A and B are shown apart, each in its own frame.
Chain A
Amino acid sequence: MKKSKFYYKITALMLVLLMAVGCERKLDELQLATKYPTTPEVFIDGFSSGLIYAAFAGSKPTAFQVDDQVTYLGTNSMRFDVPNATDPLGGYAGGAFFLTAGRDLSGYNVLTFWAKAYQADTINEVGFGNDLGANKYQVSVSNLEISTTWEKYYILIPDPSLLKQEKGMFYYAAAPQSGKAYSFYIDEVKFEKLGTINHEVYKICNGSNLNVTGSTGTYKLSDFSATFNLPTGLNQTETISSSYFTFTSSNTSVATVDSKGVVSLIGNGTAKITAKVGNVDAVGSYTITTGGPTSTATNPTLAQANVISVYSDAYTNNVTIDDYCEHWEWGVGLSWHQIITTEYSFGSLNGNNFIHYSNNNDTWGLKRVIAPIKFKSNPKNVSSMTYLHYDVWVPSMSTYTSNIPTIGLQDAAGLQVGVTATSPLETNKWVPVEIPLSSFGIDKTKVAYFVFDNFPSDIYVDNIYFHN
């Protein structure tokens, strides 16, 4: 006896429900093995050719049914009965509609469907690209709001040229609302090529320009999304797989990035990771600076009342900073004109922030940091304090000038005194430094500058404060 064509497999992971499988062999399916059918229909009045449904593990397997009573168009629709949270057969509804062979979707730009419910409901996740396997090109919209009338919904395909053999046609996951069951309907699921959606914007790192410091190992990029404009003129955002992006590192001797957005650190320096979808630049970037601190400075334990803080995450900073590195000049217009060229940026490690000072381009011909932190518009009275404190991390002494690093305090009248900072300098660790304020013969009721002077050309500083 001939075996039926319509087999289903039960695997360890899922229960596959046999649904009506179209058995017409369309002409466009009888193709060379290298080309896949371009059929756009997923579910119209029944399953399109080759489509199979499988419920996700833990979901109620019977949540999905074909319905012939409530349809948008034609004879049948898909009905989803989301169970009560306490349902013994499964506390949510979810599953994937997929193919065993793939389809070539490169001629389409959007998945569309119509949906409605008996009361306004939210489908937690709906999309395509879930093939119950690698889900390489998965796209989803979260918390899709459906109403009591049939409305059309759109899910953008970020780069259709990648979907030459896609198996994941449609998937959903819906949890009960406030623990209670509800039903919704979906109909006319198909891929289309529409000119009524546009203004696609792709993002990595949620569109932010992230700055991180690191030492060794790998870092994974995240928060990939696409936003586009619907025919209604409103935007919709969807989560998309990192596989739609190509990634680039601005400096591969510092960091490389692979096709999955995993960044590997190679050497010291700064590298900026950016991405594209097709030819379109994505918004957002990930800049990693290596060679900096691999731990955070010891958290200060003094009470806030005993501290006047210039820069620290541990305290409310009560010095108003005008400039973290004022570029002082001497001899303007003269042959010996000199200017401070130290630059600064902020870095963080494990949520703890620090200042990075660097200067490889000194006008004196030296590689060193001179960094006057200015608070002259609000000079600080530190006469009740007895010490100043800071933590410093020096990555390397190799470019150091051998001038002795000093800390300078300058008062509002311009009198500055410098005191030897640390002796000897240590590298690749946070070194706490304490200097008695009695060493500074200036007007301590009006301190206007805190200066790192003659330091190595690459330093990180944190927890700058006065205390008693």
Chain B
Amino acid sequence: MNYTIFKKNKFVSAVICSNVLISLVGCNDNAGVQTLPKRTYQLVWSDEFNNTTTSVVDNTKWNIDSGIGSNNDGWGNDEKEYYTSRDTNIIVKNGCLTITALKELYGGKSFTSARINTKGLFEHAYGRIEARIKTPYGPGIWPAFWMMGANNDSVVWPDCGEIDIMELRGQKSNIINGTLHGPGYSGVSAIEKSFAFVNDRFDSGFHVLAVEWGINYIDFYVDNTLYQEVTPKSVPGKWVFDHPFYIILNVAVGGNYVGGWPSEQTPFPQTMLVDYVRVYKEVSK
């Protein structure tokens, strides 16, 4: 059973009221049946993480990030981890990408983890971008599956755009958030909506997190439930989702999104399992 939580934010709820196109009924056992848009897709890129000969992530598809960010500021979020490429933090095994956050002293930080991205290797606009993920959990743990405008070296954030397909705060691992950042709507003013399981958790099993991205919409999905649709009319600034983006997968430890530091009692190690990442383009009917 699941329902949609509307973000407790005056601005966002005003947006939702005028732009919700779905017919979800809140809080009921059998939510109103959704009429999902019928779109036809063709696979253009994927990583099934089914490596049999190596446990290292495919370097023709992914860059492995390292350290604490180019501005030494915890990747802009005051994150507390040091990202490495060691197989204790990132490994492909049993058909899954496995990112593990560890509580250990390394590089001057108290935690290590991993972050990978497709910048310069795969950059794409529009279509359906999905991943099947089993998240980590625990206060201060912050997994994310997201995309960044590939022009972010020349066009500074947030103007390059950012699409967060899934972010989770480990202290409430039954809830994920889907978010768009752009000029005039970034950071605390980003366009965001939550999806919550009433009686399940994202770390108990695998779920498919996806966006469907067209010229005039970005739809956010958890499995087969459409929980947010954003259009150019719903954003208070320029719609910048009209150029290629690259994909990022990571598990952060601490940072502004999760309220600072993990708890002393947060269980470690924490693991995110990604069964696959798939990108489709829409084909005309």
In the complex, given contacts A235-B265, A235-B267, what are 15 additional A-B residue pairs having Cβ atoms less than 8 angstroms apart? A195-B200, A196-B174, A196-B197, A196-B200, A196-B201, A199-B137, A229-B267, A231-B174, A233-B170, A233-B172, A233-B267, A234-B138, A234-B139, A234-B263, A234-B267
A99, B73: Cα distance in complex, Å: 60
Q: Is A232 close to B, CB under 8 A? A: yes
Can you name 13 A-B residue pairings with CB atoms under 8 Å? Answer: A194-B199, A196-B174, A196-B197, A196-B200, A196-B201, A231-B174, A231-B201, A232-B171, A233-B139, A233-B141, A233-B173, A233-B267, A235-B267
Q: Is A298 close to B, CB under 8 A? A: no
Q: B48 to chain A: which residues have CB within 8 Å?
A: none
Q: A199 to chain B: which residues have CB within 8 Å?
A: 137, 203, 267
Q: B204 to chain A: which residues have CB within 8 Å?
A: 195, 198
Chain A contact residues, majority secondary structure: loop
Total chain A interface residues with beta-carbon distance under 8 A: 11
Contact residues, A65-95 vs B (CB, 8 A)? none
Check if B171 sits within 8 Å of A233, measured CB to CB: yes
A23, B197: Cα distance in complex, Å: 37
A199, B139: Cα distance in complex, Å: 15
By size class, the interface of chain B is 10 to 19
Q: Which of A194, A195, A233, A235 has the most B CB atoms < 10 Å from its CB?
A: A233
Give the Cβ gap from B260 to chain A, nearest Cβ, in Å.
15
A233, B170: Cα distance in complex, Å: 6
Q: Is B55 close to A, CB under 8 A? A: no
B-contacting residues of A (Cβ < 8 Å)? 194-196, 198-199, 229, 231-235
A-contacting residues of B (Cβ < 8 Å)? 137-139, 141, 170-174, 197, 199-201, 203-204, 263, 265-267
Residue of A nearest to B264 (CB): A234
Give the Cβ gap from A231 to chain B, nearest Cβ, in Å.
7
Q: A229 to chain B: which residues have CB within 8 Å?
A: 137-138, 267
Q: A235 to chain B: which residues have CB within 8 Å?
A: 265, 267
A13, B30: Cα distance in complex, Å: 51
Q: B170 to chain A: which residues have CB within 8 Å?
A: 233
A198, B173: Cα distance in complex, Å: 11
A194, B1: Cα distance in complex, Å: 12
Q: B138 to chain A: which residues have CB within 8 Å?
A: 229, 233-234
Q: A233 to chain B: which residues have CB within 8 Å?
A: 137-139, 141, 170-173, 266-267
Give the Cβ gap from B272 to chain A, nearest Cβ, in Å.
14
Check if B199 sits within 8 Å of A196, measured CB to CB: yes
